[in-house]
Amino acid sequence: MDFDFLTYLFFGGLTRGSIYALIALGYTMVYGIVELINFAHGEIYMIGAFTGLIISSVLTMLGLPILAIVVLSALTAIIYSCAYGYTMEKIAYKPLRDSNAPRLSALISAIGMSLFLQNYVLLAQTSDFLPFPNFIPDFEFWEPYAHILTSPELVILITTVIVMICLTILIKFTKIGKAMRATSQDKVMAVLMGVNINRVISITFIVGSATAAIGGILIACHIGQINFYMGFTAGIKAFVAAVLGGIGSIPGAVLGSFVLGLTESFFAGYFSSDYEDVFAFLFLVLILIFRPSGILGRAETKKV
């Protein structure tokens, strides 16, 4: 067990964690604001990858330079996913919220949305695995370190860090970010300050969808293939990561994702990759026994 292998596993875990984090952010932000587990969130990630593939194929046929293809297809995929996230909220959740439906109904609606989107892509596209072009070249300057961290992994890590920084700025310092935090703490009071809750919710869905789409494209480039089912497993894992970190907490979701990614990576590397999921979920159970509201979650305090 040499040092290189250890760092290789470490960075592998970080990369995995980054992807989980990009998806988990959407879960945790939506939960923070509307207290809804948006089970269709993984599908947004899948749609992001599919849109990226379709647009990039078209652009490749048109013979555009590679950089233009990457930028244009990524942007289109993000915008497309945001539109899906926005529409999904308006169709599947807003009517239920307006009629004061119990939270369980919204959950069922979310599962329905998830199945609908999966099958829609299955029918409209294909059930096969589709090859995804690798847009991330092997950087020459990175060559000496490539055995512990490949170029695509490096790009994933850097992109994630940039997304996190942008998100932090959005949440901490902008007006809409403050409104989001205020809404998650006390909805009625936020309304009494003049916040339009529906707008805040829409923006939350849009931001969450954008990060998920980024995750979708990155993982597709990295793994090199996509299919309609990819959102399900990734979505569940990201959801686990969000719960692990403390659902509703943004730093929690990021931390939970990295913890989960590293756990899986180390277990797969040193023990058995067949059992990595088993171990990951066992780890989740253990953490939740000792910290029921997650690593950074706030314990529910009820006034009696």
Sign of CA dihedral 135, 140, 143, 148: negative
Q: Least CB distance from residue 189 to other proteins, whole Å?
A: 4
Q: Least CB distance from residue 195 to other proteins, whole Å?
A: 6
189 forms part of the interface with other proteins (CB under 8 A): yes
The span of 40-48, 123-131, 181-189, 238-246 binding other proteins (CB under 8 A) equals 181-189
Whichever of 143 and 186 has its CB closer to other proteins, that residue is 186
Of residues 177, 239, 190, the one with CA closest to residue 20 = 239
Q: Least CB distance from residue 291 to other proteins, whole Å?
A: 19
Q: Report the first-to-last Cα separation within the chain, whole angstroms.
A: 55
Residue count at the site for other proteins (CB under 8 A)? 17
The span of 22-30, 190-198, 213-221, 264-272 binding other proteins (CB under 8 A) equals 190-198
Angle, vertex CA 254, rays to CA 203 and CA 177, nearest 5: 30
Task: Report the C-alpha gap between 285 and 270 in whole angstroms.
Answer: 21
Question: Which residue do the tokens 């916040």 mark?
Answer: 195
Q: Which of 154, 182, 223, 236: binder of other proteins (CB under 8 A)?
A: 182
The span of 41-49, 117-125, 180-188, 227-235 binding other proteins (CB under 8 A) equals 180-188
Which bin fits 38, alpha (ψ -120 to 50), beta or left (φ > 0)? beta
Dig out the tokens for 99 from the structure. 């009629």
Q: Which of 90, 94, 97, 181: binder of other proteins (CB under 8 A)?
A: 181
Which bin fits 47, alpha (ψ -120 to 50), beta or left (φ > 0)? alpha
Whichever of 155 and 250 has its CB closer to other proteins, that residue is 250
Q: Which of 195, 260, 284, 296: binder of other proteins (CB under 8 A)?
A: 195
Dig out the tokens for 24 from the structure. 């988990």
Using alpha carbons, list the distances in angstroms from residue 247 to 26, 33, 56, 196, 216: 11, 11, 35, 24, 21
The span of 68-76, 128-136, 184-192, 227-235 binding other proteins (CB under 8 A) equals 184-192
Of residues 201, 166, 296, 204, the one with CA closest to residue 244 = 296
Q: Which of 2, 65, 98, 175: binder of other proteins (CB under 8 A)?
A: 175
Whichever of 190 and 243 has its CB closer to other proteins, that residue is 190
97 forms part of the interface with other proteins (CB under 8 A): no
179 forms part of the interface with other proteins (CB under 8 A): yes
Task: Report the C-alpha gap between 24 and 221 in whole angstroms.
Answer: 20
Whichever of 90 and 276 has its CB closer to other proteins, that residue is 90
- Per CB under 8 A, residues contacting other proteins are 175, 178-179, 181-182, 185-186, 188-197
